[in-house]
A and B are shown apart, each in its own frame.
Chain A
C-alpha cells in the first residue's frame, strides 16, 4: 500500500534529551488517524518532526514517497503538509483575516479560499477584522484550522484541537471535520480525549514515552487495551489492520 506519510524508526531529540525512540507510523491517503497518549508521550514532538519544527534524519520520514526529514518548515508546507499547532498559536498582532492570509503565504493551489473558510466557519467572517487573540477559545481554534487550510494541504495535522475548550465547542469543531475531509483530505489528529479520538478516526496510534505502544483500528480496540497502552502497563499489540 502506497502510504501518503510513513515514518520508519523515527527518532527526535531536544538538545541532548531524546523524545522519540523509533516511531513506525503509516498513513494512507484519505484516512483519518488519531494519535493518543499522556502528556510528554511524544505526540507533539511527532507533529513537530513531521512539519520540520524539530530536526530529524532525512529518511526517517517519507511523504508521498519523498524523504522530508530535516527539511525547513516552509519547504514542507509547500509540499502539502499543514499543522494546526497545539495551543493554537495565532499571531496576536494580526487580525483574524490577516492570520488566515498568513496561512496562504505559500500560495499553494487548491479548493480552500477565504470565502470558503467563511462559509465553513461563519462566525469568523463577522470577526474578520478583530485581533485574532480577542476571540473565544473555540473561535480561535477555528482560525487556527482555517489558517492551516489556507495552504491547501494534502495532509492536515491537528495537535490537540480540544485543548482548553468546553465540550459543546469541541463538538462544534469536530462536526466541521467531515466538510474538511470531504475532498479526500488526509488528517492526523492528536487528542487527549480518547473517546473522541476513537469516535472520529479510523485507526489509532497510542504513544507512550516516545514509543508506539499500541496501534489498530479504532472500532476494534477495547477500552482496556487502550488504557494499558496509554499508561504503559504490560505491552499489548492489537491485531493489525
Chain B
C-alpha cells in the first residue's frame, strides 16, 4: 500500500503570524507620524537601543544555536563596527548612515583573519579565546589617541543635523536592521545552506562524510554573525553619538545576548524575539535596582538553563507545536 508524503514548511499559525508581523511593521514604520509629540523621541531611542541588543542576540543565536560555536567575544565585532563607522564618518566625510553598513562590512571582513586564530580552539575554550581576542580589540583601540584613546570620542559628523531628523532616520535604520536580521537568518536557515548547518550542528563527522564543507560553513556563519554584530554596533553608536572602548567592547553585550537567547530559546528564530521582549520588559521595570537587577538576570539565566533547556519559547513550542518562523520541515502523511 503506497502512502504519499508531503513536505510542509509552514502552517496556518505561521501564515497568520507573517500577516501580523507585516501589520506591525507598518505601524512601527509610521510611528514618527502618529506618536504623541512628547513621547516620539524617547520611544524611538528606546527602540533603537533594543533593536541593537536584538540584532546582536540574533547573530549570537545564529553562531551558537545553528553554527554550534559558543562565543563570548562577539563584542569584538560590535565595537569594531562602531569604531569603523565613526572613523569613516568623522575622518573620511562619509554620511554616518551610509557608514553603518560599511562598518558592518568591515566587521565581516576582519572576522576572516580572526577566525584563523579563534578556530584553533574548540568548545568552552573557543568561547574564552574569543573573549581574549575581544580584549585585544578593546586594548588596541584604547591606545589609539586619534579616536580618543581610553576615554573615547564623539560622533561629530552628525552635528549639523537637527535632532528630530537624526532620531527619525536612526529609528528607521534600526527598524530596517531588525527586519534584515530576521529575514537574513530565516532565509539562510531555510536554504540548503541552512540544512547543511543543522547537519553540522547535529553531527559534524557525519556531515563531513556526506561531503559538506564543514570548515567553510563554519567560517561563513562566523563571518555573517560578525557582519550582523558590526551592524548592531555601528547602529548603536549612531544612536548614542559617543563611543569608548569600554562601552564598545564590553562583554556585557554578549552577556545580554546570551541572556536573551537562552531565556527565549536557542536555535529557534522566535527565541531571541521572545527573549528580547522579556529583556526589554525587565529592563524597563527593574533596571533601577542596579546590582540586584543584574544579579536577578544572572540567576534567571542559570535557572532557565538548568530547568528549561529549550528556553521559554522552546518550552511553549514543545507543548503547543507553535512555530512562527518555521524552518523545520514537517512530514505530513496523506492517504
A and B touch in the complex (CB under 8 A): no
